[in-house]
Amino acid sequence: MSKSNSNKSNRITNNKLSKNIIYKLMQPTINVYDNNVVTEIPNVTKIELNLLLYMSRIQDVFGNVSGLYYKDACAYLDCCKQSFYNALYGLEEKGYIQINFCYKEQSYWNILILDNMFLNEADDKKGYLNTNKKFLCSEGFKNLKLN
């Protein structure tokens, strides 16, 4: 394998959200299943969306976010600790993430962004949103109203 080809297959980070996640985000409501009961609830809040975008920039190629520190996320989101927890658990309830582990008195979190694996160019061809864009990190974007 040539040196240029090996760089393409040895990815470290992802900076993407899959086409399936983007389609799901575009829906106004989402169905949540609990004990064989389907409940329709509003889709993501502004903080949940911004947290998902933040995590997409620090995930690995499998969609794993390792050691997410709540204070870093709160500073980025400009929110309090409780709003961070509400957003985190809201994303899990709505099926966007799976919380795998938290440690040090719930300060650090290991999270999996579901359906968001990009190991190679074949995965890229399935479609994605590149979240490594400056405007997605801007205060103007983070403060936009969601419909």
Sorted by where each starts, the structural domains of the chain and their CATH numbers stand as 11-139 (1.10.10.10)
Q: Is the pLDDT of residue 4 over 60?
A: no
What does pTM read for this prediction?
Answer: 0.85
Of 46, 65, 41, give the one whose Cα is nearest residue 55.
65
Per-residue confidence (pLDDT) for residue 10, from 0 to 100:
64
Of 37, 33, 49, give the one whose Cα is nearest residue 113.
49
Question: Could you report the per-residue pLDDT of 113-137, keeping only the tens digit for each?
Answer: 999 998 888 888 888 988 888 988 8
DSSP characters for 61-109?
TTSEEEEEEHHHHHHHHT--HHHHHHHHHHHHHTTSEEEEEEETTTTEE
Q: Is the pLDDT of residue 5 over 70?
A: no
Coil/strand/helix, residue 118: coil
Of 35, 48, 124, give the one whose Cα is nearest residue 87.
48
Q: What is the mean pLDDT of the chain?
A: 88
Per-residue confidence (pLDDT) for residue 91, from 0 to 100:
98
Give the span between the Cα atoms of 55 and 39, in whole angstroms. 26
